[in-house]
Amino acid sequence: MPALSTRPTPHRTAHAPERSGAMGWLGLEEHVEPSLRRIVCGYFGRVWEEVRPTTRLRDDLGATPADLARLAGEIGHAFGVDLPTQVLGRVRTQADLVDAIVRALGHRRTEHEPTPMVRVRLTTAAAATAPFVEHVGVLTPYLTATAVDDARRLATGGRVDVWVPADTSWSSLVGFCGRLGTLGARGVQVWVHRTAQARAVA
């Protein structure tokens, strides 16, 4: 993420709590929202608690059309998506902006984009000593189908952890996270972790 210096830096630091993933539309809101909130907090000089899904960009944060254009540039750098002017014109709240990013990610995946190497751990319960199964490899359709099928067998209290390279694009995770997104309604936690140790596989 580039340095955000166009607005004054607050004296207090905006810390993001760890969030569960793969919930909601395309299964990405809970990954996009914390990263977007960091960008918005940094740009407008706000702390974490001051920016919520219902926060109005213009009325509450004082965003001008020029601010939104610069913000779109920061978003494009962070998420690899383009938010056209007509899309920004329809954005009113932080939640609207999250939705716009997620929808843009859903249309961005191309055949030339690297396929990430992933590690998927399926744990039968939340306890650290609970039995688990792991799938490790390139995120092919076969690995996706196998991991999702196994995840659907988990009972309430189960957990799915997914590790991906730190440089994995959001759009490459859309389909996979979307298929895991229904597990939350069944009481299964889903967490996605980015790690600097792994690298994307071309």
Q: Please state, in angstroms and rounded to a whole number, the distance separating the CA atoms of residues 175 and 173.
A: 6
Instruction: Examine the domain organization and report whether 100 and 124 are in the same domain.
Output: no
Instruction: Examine the domain organization and report whether 101 and 37 are in the same domain.
Output: yes
pLDDT at site 28: 58
Write out residues in the chain with pLDDT < 70, as ranges. 1-31, 106-113, 126-128, 170-171, 174-175, 178, 181-182, 196-202
Residue 77 lies in a domain: yes
Distances (CA, A) of 147 to 137, 142, 151: 11, 9, 6
Strand partners of residue 189: 159
Question: Which one of 106, 138, 165 terminates a domain?
Answer: 106
Instruction: Examine the domain organization and report whether 30 and 92 are in the same domain.
Output: yes
pLDDT at site 193: 83
Instruction: Examine the domain organization and report whether 39 and 89 are in the same domain.
Output: yes
Number of domains in the chain: 2
Residue 29 lies in a domain: yes
Nearest residue to 173 (alpha-carbon basis) of 147, 201, 144: 144
Q: What is the dihedral of CA 152, 28, 14, 50, to 10 degrees?
A: -110
pLDDT at site 125: 80
pLDDT at site 198: 44
Instruction: Examine the domain organization and report whether 98 and 123 are in the same domain.
Output: no
pLDDT at site 25: 37
Q: Please state, in angstroms and rounded to a whole number, the distance separating the CA atoms of residues 159 and 154.
A: 8
Strand partners of residue 161: 121, 191
Pairing outcome for strands 117-123 and 159-165:
antiparallel
pLDDT at site 126: 67
Q: How far apart are the first and last CA of the chain?
A: 23
Instruction: Examine the domain organization and report whether 132 and 61 are in the same domain.
Output: no
Nearest residue to 162 (alpha-carbon basis) of 63, 25, 11, 21: 21
**Predicted structure pTM score:** 0.51
pLDDT at site 192: 81
Instruction: Examine the domain organization and report whether 47 and 98 are in the same domain.
Output: yes
pLDDT at site 108: 58
Instruction: Examine the domain organization and report whether 30 and 102 are in the same domain.
Output: yes
Instruction: Examine the domain organization and report whether 148 and 182 are in the same domain.
Output: yes
Instruction: Examine the domain organization and report whether 76 and 124 are in the same domain.
Output: no
Residue 200 lies in a domain: no
Residue 156 lies in a domain: yes
pLDDT at site 7: 38
Residue 85 lies in a domain: yes
Q: Please state, in angstroms and rounded to a whole number, the distance separating the CA atoms of residues 116 and 140.
A: 9
User: CATH number, domain at 65?
Assistant: 1.10.1200.10
pLDDT at site 201: 37
Q: 172 is in which domain, residue-wise?
A: 117-195
Pairing outcome for strands 159-165 and 189-195:
parallel
Answer yes or no: are the C-beta atoms of 80 and 110 closer than 8 Å.
no
Give residue 109's identity as a one-letter amino acid code.
R
